[in-house]
Amino acid sequence: EDKVVQSPLSLVVHEGDTVTLNCSYEVTNFRSLLWYKQEKKAPTFLFMLTSSGIEKKSGRLSSILDKKELFSILNITATQTGDSAVYLCAVEANAGNMLTFGGGTRLMVKP
């Protein structure tokens, strides 16, 4: 059974801090890993990673994949209150081409 585990479950930081969110996975025939941000409603897409060691960046957010150690991290630098959300990691595996989501990390950024 495919499995995706995110840590920590929740995190409280202050504006300006840097945070690192973790996603580890055990899946059959890995194809890609995706990060989503979920505020009060629907998840919105952040990154898709398919190759090890290549960092994806979007403003203050960046993510990298390690296919050997089977994990990914999502970094957010100079956090802002608007970064408060649940961050979801999902892995696409070849078995049925379905996405398996982790349980999410709830980030709260205090002013």
Partner 1 sequence: DAGITQSPRHKVTETGTPVTLRCHQTENHRYMYWYRQDPGHGLRLIHYSYGVKDTDKGEVSDGYSVSRSKTEDFLLTLESATSSQTSVYFCAISERTHIGLYFGPGTRLTVT
Do 43 and 36 touch, CB atoms closer than 8 A? yes
Q: Which of residues 21-40 bind partner 1 (CB under 8 A)?
A: 32, 34
Residue span binding partner 1 (CB under 8 A) among the ranges 19-27, 61-69, 75-83, 84-92? 84-92
Task: Confirm or reject binding of residue 88 to partner 1 (CB under 8 A).
Answer: yes
CA torsion 34→38→44→48, rounded to 10°?
Answer: -10
Give the binding site for partner 1 (CB under 8 A): 4, 32, 34, 41-45, 48, 88, 90, 92, 97-104
